[in-house]
A and B are shown apart, each in its own frame.
Chain A
Amino acid sequence: MIRDITLGQYYAADSVIHRLDPRTKLVGTLAYLIALFIFNNPYVFALAAFFLITLILLSHVPFRFILKGLKPILFLLLFTVIINMLFVKGTPLFSIWKITVTEEGVKQAVSMGGRLILLILGSNLMTLTTTPTRLTAGMEHLMRPLKLIGVPVHEIAMMMSIALRFIPILMEETDRIMKAQLARGADFESGNLFKKIRSFVPVLVPLFVSAFRRANDLAMAMEARCYHGGKGRTQYRPLRYTRRDAVAYLILILYLAAVFAAGKWLSELATPWFKEMIGYAGSVSVSMSEVY
């Protein structure tokens, strides 16, 4: 049940995407996300979708694994789309009963929904192809300049990697404790909300106790091996850029240039195309409502 969340879940495969330096992937993902947010036109979305699909194909990660990442945000997605459709004011397109759907509303809904999907799938691809260890190593590297202004970069990275390491363990633990309490006749399903929340006390207390015990054990194990923070600490597998990464950066720059061009010069073209499509959908539903 709780296992469904793809968080820090690595899909082991040997692909060119897996082998990229984590910094390349982090920078690439960040640039991809920003580009998605600066430009709001269908050409940019199409370009981003094409780019993403190519990368997914290259990564050898099956599509269904990537799509699984959408499950937790499905509700948010529907909510965004519906709210935008119903409440954005503008040129009316058609109306059913008291609800008026506007052209601006549909536009907004498609662009928000589309963006959200592209955003989640893009970042999912990164976490599926990079182990949590490499990911935090990459972040630590990229955030190094912040050390100059006193940010404890190493400590933050260490905390993140420990957290990522422990999330699956805690999930298993939750599963086990829930089962143990079920064996003692617990009931997590029936009753009103208040009763349901109360029924989780027997799960939460042991979970916290065990989390603290683990934290304590880990702290001692780290101290026993003379861990004393980031100062002078070297890495077992230092990050190294290769030619592959240079090529990747080049492709990224080309992609960004294409997005920029599409966003800037094609936006005028975009409106009529969009209108036509929406107009068609609108007329279909209007004629449907006439039938009833």
Chain B
Amino acid sequence: MEEYKLIADHLTYSYGKGSGRERKALDDVSFVLRKGEFVGLIGHTGSGKSTLVQQLNALLKPDSGTVFFEGADIFEKDYDRKALRGKVGLVFQYPEHQLFEETVFAEVCYGPKNIGMDRKATELAAYAAIKRVGLEDEVFDQPPFDLSGGQKRRVAIASVLAMKPEILILDEPAAGLDPAGRMDLLSMIRELKEKEGITILMVSHSMEDVAEMADRLMVMDRGKLVFDDSPAKVFSHVEELEEMGLAAPEMTYILRDLKAAGFDVDPSLITLKDARDTILRCMTGEKA
């Protein structure tokens, strides 16, 4: 049987309760995360993605519904939420804005120290995490504020990784980076899953970022979870996605057009390599 790591059970949440400007940010959202999965969470800005992920590690209490981590209700009164936050690591959007320590190393030690690792374990975990995110040895003793934007973000991600989470949640990790930095960061995240076996939930508003990496895509629209399926299946709903202000990856459009023009292609391909091969095949002129 598959192992459910995390279950979100009918989560509902509104901001601004009792102020006359109440707005529903989450409306009856349910899903599961299985061990070792890589799931992409997609939705346009304001669809409730960040609100949702803050409930998964008990930073925000839902109005109704709850979250189970390894079978236990995390909103129970005596549940150890601090320990939970070490196991369900959440990297916020623009995490570089939370850096405060004097050196990169101290910054990354903050998390593991907080959740009660001893000194030695903390330092080992911090060292491994900094290497893991691909930072060089020179940065260890530098103030985090002196680093470039992409490097700062790696430090912030390392500071969560150092707690050795079993699930890693990343809220728009590539937002605001240049294309090269973006590619680097995404491939680093992919490695986390492949080499370390961490369960990953990655939030994004761009299909391209998650299409190839994710085993499964969840799509949110105005607080509701509308799709929860394999990428190929989700991309087949191009019209609905467009109505939500999203788009399928470029290649899906090309493949669809080729099919419409009478070529024998499968528009549900999701890796760039397959798409390229198909397009090349069409260009060499085999019509169905």
- A176 beta carbon closer than 8 Å to chain B: yes
Cβ contact within 8 Å between B57 and A206: no
Cβ contact within 8 Å between A206 and B114: no
Q: Which of B20, B54, B160 sits near A184, CB closer than 8 Å?
A: B160
Q: Assuming the A-B contacts A180-B92, A209-B145, are A185 and B111 also in contact, with contact meaning beta carbons closer than 8 angstroms in the complex?
A: yes
Q: Assuming the A-B contacts A183-B57, A202-B110, are A177 and B97 also in contact, with contact meaning beta carbons closer than 8 angstroms in the complex?
A: yes
The CA-CA distance from A205 to B144 in the complex, in Å, is: 12
The CA-CA distance from A14 to B91 in the complex, in Å, is: 43
Beta-carbon contacts under 8 Å, A195-218 to B: 201-202, 205-206, 209-210
The CA-CA distance from A285 to B246 in the complex, in Å, is: 71
Looking across the interface, which residue of chain A has its beta carbon closest to that of B160?
Answer: A184
- B115 beta carbon closer than 8 Å to chain A: yes
A275 to chain B, nearest CB (A): 43
- A155 beta carbon closer than 8 Å to chain B: no
Cβ contact within 8 Å between A205 and B114: no
Beta-carbon contacts under 8 Å, B58-117 to A: 59-60, 82, 85-86, 89-92, 95, 97-100, 110-115
B159 to chain A, nearest CB (A): 6
Q: Which of A182, A202, A210 sits near B59, CB closer than 8 Å?
A: A182
- B220 beta carbon closer than 8 Å to chain A: no
The CA-CA distance from A201 to B160 in the complex, in Å, is: 18
B3 to chain A, nearest CB (A): 24
Cβ contact within 8 Å between A185 and B98: no
Cβ contact within 8 Å between A182 and B110: no
The CA-CA distance from A205 to B59 in the complex, in Å, is: 21
Cβ contact within 8 Å between B114 and A184: yes
- A179 beta carbon closer than 8 Å to chain B: yes
Cβ contact within 8 Å between B82 and A210: no
Cβ contact within 8 Å between B114 and A185: yes
Q: Which of B91, B99, B114 sits near A186, CB closer than 8 Å?
A: B114
Cβ contact within 8 Å between B92 and A183: yes
A136 to chain B, nearest CB (A): 23
The CA-CA distance from A36 to B114 in the complex, in Å, is: 53
A contact residues around B163 at 8 Å (CB): 184-185
A195 to chain B, nearest CB (A): 13
The CA-CA distance from A62 to B20 in the complex, in Å, is: 10
Q: Assuming the A-B contacts A177-B98, A179-B54, are A184 and B59 also in contact, with contact meaning beta carbons closer than 8 angstroms in the complex?
A: no
Q: List 5 A-B contacts (CB under 8 A).
A: A177-B97, A184-B98, A186-B114, A187-B114, A206-B99
- A180-B92, A183-B160 given. 6 additional CB < 8 A pairs? A62-B20, A176-B92, A183-B89, A185-B112, A206-B97, A206-B100
The 3 closest A-B pairs by CB, nearest first: A185-B114, A205-B100, A180-B98
